Each structure stands twice: as C-alpha cells, then as structure tokens.
Chain A
C-alpha cells in the first residue's frame, strides 16, 4: 500500500512534469533552441491562476483558460524580443536573451507582486476517496483529466490542422519548410506561444496542487522540464510526456524508499545517464551525422 501511495503521488507529479516538458519540447522542436525562460513562464501562469482564483474569485476552468491565454500572449512577446530580431544572428544570442529574460521576469515579479509566497485555497475542498488504504484526492483526478484532454487536443491540433502541419514542417527542417511556402516566422511565433501556453497551464495546476505560488518557483520547474525532455528526446512530444512521468515516479520512489535528499539528484542523474547512453533521448530523432 505504501508503494501504491507513493506511485499515486509520483503519477500526479509526473503528469505535471509531463505537461511542462511537452511545452518545452514543442518550443525546442519548432524554434530549434532551448528556452531558459520557460520556468518563469510557468511561474507567471501560476500567478495568473492565483489572481483569477483569489482576487477575481472565478472557478478553476476560468483560471486555466486565463493561464493559457496570458502565457500565450507572453510567449508571443518573448518571441518578438528574443527570437525574431535575431533570426539571422548566431544562435547563442537567443539563448542569452532567454537567460536575461528569465532573470528580468523573476525580479520584476518580485518587485511588482511582492517577494512572498502566496496561498491558493483548495479548489475542491480537500475531498478525496479511498481505495483500500490508498487515498486519491479530487485534485489529483482533475489534474490527470486536464492533462489528458490537453494532450489529445494538442495531437489533434498538430496532426489535423494546417497550422499544426506548418509547425511540424518547421520542426523538421526550417529551410525546406520555407521553400514549400510555410511562413516560418509565424510558425515559430505560434509554436513558441503554444509551448508557453502549455507551460502556463502547468503553472496553474502546480499552484492549485501545492496551494502556493512563489516568484522564485520557476527555477526548479524549469530544471524538471528540461530533464524530462532530455530523457524523452528533445524533439519528441510523446517522449517528453513519458520523460515527465518517469521523472515524477522515480523521484517519489527514490525519496520514499532510499533517501529524501535524492529528489533533485535523480533529475540530474537522468540527464547524465541519457546523455552518456543515448544522447537523442528515448524517442528523439537521431540528428544528421550521428
């Protein structure tokens, strides 16, 4: 029963990691670059959820939608500042811009919204049900449902719409996509905004699951997203999801059975192991020349 309980904890955490990782992976696939500001995007999504629930007193669905929209817009702005002006410049410039934006957004949030942790009350009133000795809360079910629905929607979007097609084309080969008439700049902006919006929703879910938001919560979120994506393959969305689940479950089992100091170490160990054994990740595409 202890094992099952730890497994349930791990699954819930894993699903949130999976969503963060999927956003990250969409960005990497379409833009071709790691985004160091993803943690802060997640944090701002969480704060949007906080405002909606605590100050505007709306329900959870409105909070999720608001989180999605706000971070979509934020993603478009970041693209305008960090990627679009530098599309012909060395790629390092974009990486440094995202690092700079990460520091900027984190500090700006602390200045504008205060430095303190803020509380989000229980949206489901801590209701749960028991299966034997194992306790599953309504929030855990809700989070699982939201993530599954989002994944299905994402799949439909990517494989059944023209915009999704353009994103996939750009992620495969930018120049070839341009040659066949895809507007690459728009695709990059849409892809980036989509990745950020998924991150924003995962931020809202983090906020309601842990009942707290804090301006510095982005750093560890970003590291977990990165580790999950590396594990699953930087360009593969299903891989990122699997990576997130594996990370969440192994962290919880590691903490439960071995030592609670291991939590963050496991994420790093996974990155190291993957890079040594199979650098393209579990389901990633092998790059040309490998």
Chain B
C-alpha cells in the first residue's frame, strides 16, 4: 500500500515537472543532413540555427517563451525528410519547421507539411518548383531561375568574356534544373553550349566525362555541383592539363572549396549575395561568432540558415503559436534585414536575389563586381 502511494506521488511529481517544463517553451523543428554525404552542410545549419536561437532567448524569447530547436537528421535522403516531416507535424508542440538542405528532400517533404498546414522554410532550396508547390513552402536562397541568367550574362559573357561553354552537372533535381536554366539563358543571350554531361552523386572520378567535354572545345566550363564534388572536378581538370575558364553557381562558395581544390581553383568565378569581406557590422559579428563556434568560416548556406531562424522567430512573435497564423505572418514579412540582405517574399514564397561576382584569386575569394545594391 505504501509502495503504491510512493509510486503515485512520484508519477504525479514527474508529470507536474513535464507540464511545467512544456509551458515555457516554443519548439521549431530543424530537418537537415547531420550525417551522410552532405553532413557538412547540415552542421552549418545547426550552428547557425543554434546561434540565432541563443540570440533570441537572450533577448527574452518569443512572446515570453524560450525557443527550442528540435533537430532531426535527414541524412540528405528524401525518404528520411518525409518521415521527419510526419513526426514534426504530429508533434503539437512544434509550430514550424526549418529545412531541408537539398531541394530533393524539401520537395519530398512538402506535401506532408502542406497537408498538415505547417510552414517549411528552406534556407537553401533553390529549385524553382519548391516554393510554388504549396502555401506553406518558403525558400530564401533565391532560385536557379535568377542564377542561371546571371551566370550567363554577367559571369560568362561580361566578366570572363567567352563565347562557348560546356556544362557538367550533378544528376539530381537541383543539378538538372540548374543546367536547364543556364542552357535556356544561354540560348536567350547567344552563348554557345557545346555539350552537357551529368554525373551521379558520390562520383569521384570525372576524368572520363571531362575528357569527353574537352573534345567539344569550349572556352569555359560551367560546373553545376556542390563544392565537394566541384573541388574534385577542378583538380581533375588541372590533372588533365585542360586550361579552361571555370564558372559555377553559388553552391561552390565556401572556404572548404578552396582548401579542397588547392590551386586548381584559381580563377573560378561564381555568384553570391553573402561575402566574407562585407563591411556591414552585423554581418561581421555573425561571421566572427560562427567562426568561434564552428572553427571555420560560414558560407552562404550557413548565413541563410541564420536568417531563416531569425525571420521565422519574428513571424512567430507577430502571429502567436498557431501554425496557420505563422504562415500568414511569414508571407507578409517586409522589413526584415538579415546577414544576407533585405528579405521579402514573392507571392509564391521565394525571394528574388541579386548577386555579386566572386572569383578565386591567390587562394581567396575576391569580390569582382557587385550587382546587389
């Protein structure tokens, strides 16, 4: 009898603790690749999101409640992303979600978030089909629909002054759409495309593909890949002794890229809206804190994750804790200025970005032209 009484008291106490604990917290889900091929990008998300959350909590939280990020590992796998989406929407404490890294994972999880009415704010999905796929889908990195034409007109034609380009691209949702927009813009602007060849994720030997592209004799090579693959491609280009102008979309921008590619990266041109030597003090403060935590400099993805978290928090502050209200307030965001610039959503939930041209010179990223102002 006594033992039963103790048991009941203990459970009531525990229950009381959890109830008390739960009241004070608002939870945001974070789905990102913490392991697998894209683990480094997921780490960047995590560092940035946690930094943003600590900043918010230090300033009093959201409507008096502390913010907590629930992190789940999508492994860069769209099936995992969908499973995580299911778990997030079923958890009544989670009011919105940030993630995923790859467009493929975001697209896979989108129907689940849409049906359940929860915001999915992707810091890095640049596939033009993602944000329009639902009312609750938002992306802040800008889409390939803007990057493609910028790469053709400002980088290839104006900065590099070349007339023909071959394309090597990763054969997934992002890579294919990047190639498509580049090729379409090239047709519009009169840039010749000599050949397009894909490769699959995880590929490490590009000699065969590069030898094949070299035969078509282009003046430049457009490398539509993430920076770890792009670093291998530039090295193998150098090993083949092929002296071609290199250009790439913003996916390659990272200090890891230069350390992995070495001097093979010299001269590669890409676009970004986040530059490490930006004199803006908020940007510099962010960079320094990120370096202190992560031991490396942040890249575009990390900066977008940071802005996403802050932006979402402001929307929750205005809207309260109802998932649908959060969505409406997020869509109405119009005077948010983050480390990646001024953010305002289009009707479908995208951001129209403007870029700077970055070139690798003497082992560092140097801003060569600025079209963002």
Binding site for B on A (CB under 8 A): 2, 5-6, 9-10, 13, 107, 110, 115-117, 119, 121-122, 126, 128, 135, 137, 210-212, 214, 216-217, 219-220, 251-252, 255-256, 260-261, 263-264
B207 contacts the other chain (Cβ, under 8 Å)? yes
User: Shortest CB–CB separation between residue A207 and chain B, in angstroms?
Assistant: 10
User: Shortest CB–CB separation between residue B261 and chain A, in angstroms?
Assistant: 8
Q: Which residue of B lies closest to A115 (CB)?
A: B39
Q: How far is the CA of A272 from the CA of B19 in the complex (A)?
A: 58
B197 contacts the other chain (Cβ, under 8 Å)? yes
Contact A214/B240 with A261-B171, A263-B200 known, Cβ cut-off 8 Å: no
Q: How far is the CA of A219 from the CA of B238 in the complex (A)?
A: 27
Number of A-B contacts (CB under 8 A): 89
B211 contacts the other chain (Cβ, under 8 Å)? yes
User: Shortest CB–CB separation between residue A270 and chain B, in angstroms?
Assistant: 17
Asked if residues B259 and A135 are in contact (CB atoms below 8 Å), the reply is no
Asked if residues B262 and A115 are in contact (CB atoms below 8 Å), the reply is no
User: Shortest CB–CB separation between residue B25 and chain A, in angstroms?
Assistant: 28
Contact A6/B202 with A110-B39, A115-B40, A116-B256 known, Cβ cut-off 8 Å: no
Asked if residues B228 and A255 are in contact (CB atoms below 8 Å), the reply is no
* Chain B contact residues, majority secondary structure: helix
B16 contacts the other chain (Cβ, under 8 Å)? no
Q: How far is the CA of A29 from the CA of B185 in the complex (A)?
A: 56
Q: How far is the CA of A264 from the CA of B207 in the complex (A)?
A: 15
Asked if residues B39 and A116 are in contact (CB atoms below 8 Å), the reply is yes
Binding site for A on B (CB under 8 A): 34-37, 39-40, 42-43, 171, 197-200, 202-205, 207-209, 211-212, 215, 228, 231-232, 235-236, 238-241, 256, 259-260, 262
Asked if residues A256 and B208 are in contact (CB atoms below 8 Å), the reply is yes
Residues of A contacting B198 in the complex (Cβ-Cβ under 8 angstroms): 260-261
* Residue of A2, A121, A137, A212 with highest tally of chain B CB at under 10 A: A212
Q: Which residue of A lies closest to B42 (CB)?
A: A115
Residues of B contacting A264 in the complex (Cβ-Cβ under 8 angstroms): 200
A to B CB contacts below 8 Å, 27 in the list: A6-B211, A9-B211, A115-B34, A116-B40, A117-B228, A117-B231, A121-B262, A128-B239, A137-B239, A210-B204, A210-B235, A210-B236, A211-B262, A212-B228, A212-B232, A212-B260, A214-B228, A216-B36, A220-B202, A220-B204, A251-B208, A252-B208, A255-B208, A255-B212, A256-B208, A260-B199, A263-B203
User: 10 closest Cβ contacts across the A-B interface?
Assistant: A115-B39, A255-B208, A9-B207, A117-B228, A252-B208, A260-B209, A116-B40, A119-B260, A260-B197, A256-B208
Asked if residues B205 and A135 are in contact (CB atoms below 8 Å), the reply is no
Asked if residues B215 and A2 are in contact (CB atoms below 8 Å), the reply is yes
Q: Which residue of B lies closest to A126 (CB)?
A: B239
Residues of A contacting B259 in the complex (Cβ-Cβ under 8 angstroms): 119
Contact A119/B39 with A9-B207, A212-B232, A260-B198 known, Cβ cut-off 8 Å: no
Contact A261/B200 with A6-B211, A212-B231 known, Cβ cut-off 8 Å: yes
Our pick among A2, A119, A219, A263 for the contact of B211 (Cβ within 8 Å) is A2
9 other A-B residue contacts (CB within 8 Å) besides A122-B262, A252-B208, A263-B203: A115-B35, A116-B228, A116-B256, A128-B241, A210-B235, A212-B228, A255-B208, A260-B199, A260-B208
Q: How far is the CA of A9 from the CA of B259 in the complex (A)?
A: 25
Asked if residues A211 and B241 are in contact (CB atoms below 8 Å), the reply is no
Residues of A contacting B240 in the complex (Cβ-Cβ under 8 angstroms): 135
Q: Which residue of B lies closest to A211 (CB)?
A: B235
Asked if residues A255 and B209 are in contact (CB atoms below 8 Å), the reply is yes
Q: How far is the CA of A252 from the CA of B211 in the complex (A)?
A: 10
User: Shortest CB–CB separation between residue B222 and chain A, in angstroms?
Assistant: 15
User: Shortest CB–CB separation between residue A181 and chain B, in angstroms?
Assistant: 46
Residues of A contacting B238 in the complex (Cβ-Cβ under 8 angstroms): 126
Q: How far is the CA of A251 from the CA of B206 in the complex (A)?
A: 11
Asked if residues B232 and A210 are in contact (CB atoms below 8 Å), the reply is yes
User: Shortest CB–CB separation between residue B275 and chain A, in angstroms?
Assistant: 22
Residues of B contacting A117 in the complex (Cβ-Cβ under 8 angstroms): 40, 228, 231, 256, 260
